[in-house]
Amino acid sequence: MTLFLAFTCGACAVFALALGVVTTEERRGARAERVWEATIASERASLGGDLKTMNAKATVGASENYVKPFAGRFKSIGEWPESYMVPTHVEASLGKLPLAPVRLGNWFHKPNQDEINDFIVKWSSKAVNDVPHQVYVVPANGKAKEVKTVDGSPMFYNFVHVPKAGGTYFSVFMSHALEKSGEKHGYPYPMNVAPFRDWITLPLVDTSQNNVEATAAHYRNGEPAQFFATEHLREQYIAGKRLFGKGQYGMGMCDDMKVPCIYLTVLRDPVERYLSHYKYSCLNGAEGRAQWLDAWKEIDECPLDPIEFMDHLGPNLDWIVQIAPGTATNPDVHVAQAKANLASACVRYLLLERYEDGLDKMRATFADFDGVHDVTDYHMKNPSRPMDDATRTRYEKYMANQTIVDAIVERHRHMKQVYDFAVAHYDSHWASAISTC
């Protein structure tokens, strides 16, 4: 039994910010978010808050008052789903419209933290390969597939997204690779028919919490056959078509693919990653305050200190389960298997601290990324408002409290062991032979 999970944390800003420093990019993002939220509020108010009416309005896709995301790009992939159409005045207000996490048409359901944690618990309660108290093992030397590998390149690049570790930028990087491949060889699927039109990660394969189980089932069962049958995928693969997927818990999905598959992820120093997450999701209330409780929204503040926010995140705090999911109760078992999984021949990882080097390695190693350089577009980013003076003072007070700092370090001890292993083996692993799963 293969395990899957995806958490729609949404896209996360790629460039790490110095503690307490407000950059020009932050200010620009904050302005964009305010315009975006104000526009959504205006649209909802004008429609009486009726989402069905809003959906009906958004389906007027041919209207000159509506435009498509990624205007002028993905020319051959087919029409965008009507639910992705957005009012032209929103496009004009932002300059370029972020594709996620909100669209004015078919509003997808964004899980709150309680739903995320419930999903993780439910997912983790499943046994790996029907064996309880185990963890997921990525084959050390890869795995032979029904469709044989051609020229060492996989068909599916399966990005396991660790939030707040440069995943947004990497998603855009993959989107550009998809466009490059698609315009040369053709795209592997249209976007405006089921099930693709419901993927919230378009144009990427959706392994988010919303759709990962359904996506896996399509590939596992080969249905509908005109898109997912093994022979169809074989023909596409040989023709040079490629799949690029994104999801926080895509680990294990290669088992459901009949075509060659490889896992990719981006890692970051665990403590720095968490502090970025705390500022982004708690203090800044990013992504529409997605991880705030309703009571916090009423007072317009996340009142938790860094330790309390770790408790609030619950099982979603530990990203080791994304690399080595399973029901083993001993954390040392997860740590050991996470190291082994990262060392697998069908896994490649980047380090945020050496991001440009990692992107260069991607270009040099995988022909599908060769020549992909300009990935500075605004799409798929989730800007958050910068901290005001009071919030910054509050954050600095927490960071001056040694008890809080020590608790954060201790809670990330196992993650640090995995991260240190990744750092130590980064260069040698990229230099080793690559296989597919």
Q: What residues does 158 pair with on adjacent strands?
A: 245, 263
pLDDT of residue 69: 64
Average pLDDT per consecutive 10 residues, the chain (437 residues; last block may be shorter): 35 30 37 40 38 36 53 76 61 40 46 76 65 83 92 94 89 92 94 90 89 92 96 96 92 93 97 93 82 88 94 86 86 94 98 95 96 66 68 95 96 97 98 95
pTM of the model: 0.80
Helices 402-411 and 413-431, interaxial angle, to 10°? 50
pLDDT the model gives residue 58: 38
Which run of H or E residues covers position 145? none
* 372 within 8 A of 181, measured Cβ to Cβ: no
What is the rounded distance in angstroms from the CA atom of residue 430 to the CA atom of residue 358? 9
Per-residue pLDDT at 125: 66
3-state secondary structure of 55: helix
Rounded to an integer, what distance in angstroms lies between the CA atom of residue 285 and that of residue 8?
15
**What crossing angle do the helices spanning 270-277 and 306-313 adopt, rounded to 10°?**
90
Give the amino acid at 344.
S
DSSP secondary structure, 350-406, as one string: EEGGGHHHHHHHHHHH-GGGTT-------TT----PPP-HHHHHHHHHHHT-HHHHH
Residue 350's DSSP bridge partners are 266
Domains, the chain, ordered by start: 110-431 (3.40.50)
Give the residue among 75, 11, 20 at the shortest CA–CA distance from 377: 11
Instruction: List C-alpha distances in Å: 396 to 27, 48, 306, 377.
Output: 20, 42, 11, 32
